[in-house]
A and B are shown apart, each in its own frame.
Chain A
């Protein structure tokens, strides 16, 4: 409420546990997601080592199932998505000229729920075995999976999914109500557009997962009969609900990166993005179609030729807006003044890689041919081409692009280029050959393959490629450490176009002393070309309202974590219901405190901002 609260000295740890600053939460998401990315990468390497030669006995069949399940689950839910949320949290409010997000408290809660959900899921390794029913955890398998692995999957994803949903709602509300003066929808940078549309996907896709996990949980823990065929249940319902969530999920993973690439291409080509309006509508169209095609994951279930054909056509239609995007990116570079640095390299590497992934997607979208490809390594190759060649390349591009904004230092270029080339070559070695392994009949999810069936060399090459990608990731980590000692850079190291480059690097906790006036697309670029050099203020200098930090989101998430453990183990021992009810009561108590206690935030006085402006002018 007062200035005194703001000025009080806090320890660093307490500061990070209670922060409601969207930029710090963004960094927390990056750190959390980065950790899980390394973990899931390690799991992938173990899988590839097992498959390096025929009839290998590096790990057991059961452990192999756990490894592939946890690799997929961790990569999608706990690595890629949180890292994207990190960028969206950090960059989007800056890009729209806002001081904060709509719901700072909710934002923090979303992060801690994701983290504790992820930790709960990974506790399974130490508490009786990880989930082993695949990342989709189809009910027909998951219902009868022994032990508690699948229960950890259910509760861990439920908790982190709730966090994701909150994050999504918060980001939509932020873009709708908090855009700065002059920032109309059609002046928003493509990354902000992608954030908006991705968040809408999160909002409409995640509830389907929530319900599905509930149904599976009721069946496994409380004896209901949704998927119990003896009592009239139907496991195909699980597949439908899963893919009604799961198909939009893959667009949640790629659309923000399409936004990143759009920003990167236009910045480093020194040109306005080609076909801005078409890009916006293509993004919307991809999102819409993404919801309409879930059953292409179920061509072999037996839905019948009519349903299969409709979903096949819908699936192939997605190639059209995606093609529009690819051509617009190429046209953005056409005749531009191109700078090739690490961020740009990842973006350039993305175009052919993702296009290959898209073409195999159209192949898989043909329902007749799908009976041949189904559950082979061809599918594995396809989705890794889009998810690694799209999402992971995009994440690396975004890291190099926004690192100076986040930490005030540019990542080392030489190491960045080495990372790119090693990872890029490793990626294509790993997955290109898998197309052919699949066409030759190698099934996915198999623990071993036999000798002399034409699969030996391909698998060997694939595993070597995977190790190269691991080396690439390690070089990136070295780069992060090397960069700590490098020189500080200014606000605008890339000669940028959008508003995030108008504030210092890293930005002050209140983002803007005065909200900037947006006068068109690429607002900073407009001011630079008109000779102003910096954004014009849209308001007189005044007191700035800021939210107070809070420890409640952290405590609430711990409560849900404990309750999750209680849910899992109450099946074995009724004493665990104490943990269940205790955890829930604790979390609900925290919510009650939150709703009963007024928290109006505090004001940064005008004088403090004046001092800051003077210091900058010097």
Chain B
């Protein structure tokens, strides 16, 4: 497997091998499927967002300050993952790891905000998954996104630890690149969640 660790790394190490290209392509298709998953959940949410069955409504619940802070954290984490990939293409493994680490920390910050938000709704308003069709749809959509964030954080931490000693080569570069793609996808979805759930819930 000597050819996976060339003396001079190509400028696009993530697509230099057939396996790398396969991974990138396949992952794009996977994201196509993910888009449909989220689209369905958005559809369900839009259909049920006013079905509160006498329980708390979106206007009672949502506070835009916290959600704004969460949005800031998550969107910044997308930028930091761009820096990480930039350093990957320059074959600077240490800086890539550093920026990937920052990405993970920002993601964790976002998650803390979400856990706080859910706990607040449950304890202060008694608003749960079972309260109403609106509750079910809200927790399903936002929770599904949160689940994706959680998975992404586990993914990047595993990748960083696993490859800390091995460094960057044509086998590991596609893995980091795939993660970055996933992370951007989660961010894009959050923009829709922010708009459709929170903004429309508050002012729509």
Contacts and interface: CB of A to CB of B under 8 A. Distances in A.
Nearest to A170: B26
A233 B47 CA distance: 9
A20 to B, nearest CB: 14
Given A177-B22, A225-B130, A232-B48, A218 B136 contact: yes
A218 B43 CA distance: 17
| Residue with the greatest number of chain A CB neighbours at <10 A, chosen from B21, B44, B171 | B44
Contacts of A228: 133
Contacts of B162: 595-596
A394 B135 CA distance: 47
A226 interface: yes
B33 A232 contact: no
A237 B4 CA distance: 50
B29 A173 contact: yes
A200 to B, nearest CB: 8
Interface in B132-186: 132-137, 140, 158, 162, 171
A169 interface: yes
Interface in A539-596: 592, 595-596
B18 interface: yes
B76 interface: no
A177 B137 contact: no
B136 A208 contact: no
Contact of A207 (B40, B129, B140): B40
A175 B135 CA distance: 43
Contacts of A206: 33
A303 interface: no
A65 B1 CA distance: 58
Contacts of A165: 33
Majority secondary structure, B binding face: helix
A211 B37 contact: yes
Contact of A203 (B18, B29, B171): B29
Contacts of B136: 218-219, 224-226, 231, 233
Given A169-B26, A232-B53, A595 B40 contact: no
Contacts of B171: 598, 600
Interface residues of B, number: 36
Contacts of B135: 224-225
Interface in A209-260: 210-212, 214-215, 218-219, 222-226, 228, 230-234, 237, 240-241, 244
Given A103-B26, A600-B1, A232 B37 contact: no
B134 A207 contact: no
Nearest to B134: A232
A101 to B, nearest CB: 9
B41 interface: yes
A176 interface: yes
Contacts of A595: 158, 162
B30 interface: yes
B51 interface: yes
A177 B23 CA distance: 10
Contacts of A203: 29, 32-33, 36
A172 interface: yes
Interface in B1-53: 1, 4, 18, 21-22, 25-26, 29-30, 32-34, 36-37, 40-41, 43-44, 47-48, 51-53
Given A226-B136, A233-B48, A598-B171, A177 B37 contact: no
Contacts of B21: 177
Contacts of B29: 169, 172-173, 203
Nearest to B137: A226
Nearest to A224: B136
Contacts of A173: 22, 25-26, 29
Given A103-B22, A173-B26, A237-B44, A223 B130 contact: yes
A237 B47 contact: yes
| Residue with the greatest number of chain B CB neighbours at <10 A, chosen from A173, A208, A234 | A173
A342 B175 CA distance: 48
Contacts of B53: 225, 230-232
A587 to B, nearest CB: 14
Nearest to A232: B51
Contacts of B132: 225, 231-232
Contacts of A170: 26
A1 B47 CA distance: 53
Nearest to B50: A232
Nearest to A229: B133
A458 B161 CA distance: 69
A217 to B, nearest CB: 11
A91 to B, nearest CB: 20
Contacts of A177: 18, 21-22, 25
Contacts of A212: 40
B25 to A, nearest CB: 5
A165 B4 CA distance: 30
| Residue with the greatest number of chain B CB neighbours at <10 A, chosen from A205, A210, A231 | A231
A225 B129 CA distance: 8
B37 A207 contact: yes
A211 B133 CA distance: 16
Interface string A156-185: 000000000100011011001110000000
Nearest to A600: B1
Contacts of A592: 158
B48 A224 contact: no
B51 A211 contact: no
B2 to A, nearest CB: 11
| Residue with the greatest number of chain A CB neighbours at <10 A, chosen from B21, B40, B131 | B40
Contacts of B26: 102-103, 169-170, 172-173
A211 B42 CA distance: 11
26 contacts: A102-B22, A103-B26, A165-B33, A169-B26, A169-B29, A172-B29, A173-B25, A173-B26, A208-B36, A211-B37, A215-B140, A222-B129, A225-B130, A225-B132, A225-B133, A225-B135, A226-B44, A226-B137, A230-B53, A231-B130, A232-B48, A233-B48, A233-B136, A234-B133, A241-B44, A598-B171
Given A169-B29, A204-B36, A596-B158, 19 more contacts: A102-B26, A103-B22, A169-B30, A173-B25, A173-B26, A173-B29, A205-B36, A207-B36, A208-B36, A211-B41, A211-B44, A215-B140, A224-B135, A224-B136, A231-B53, A231-B130, A232-B133, A241-B40, A596-B162
Q: 5 smallest A-B Cβ distances: which pairs?
A: A232-B51, A232-B133, A207-B36, A224-B136, A173-B26
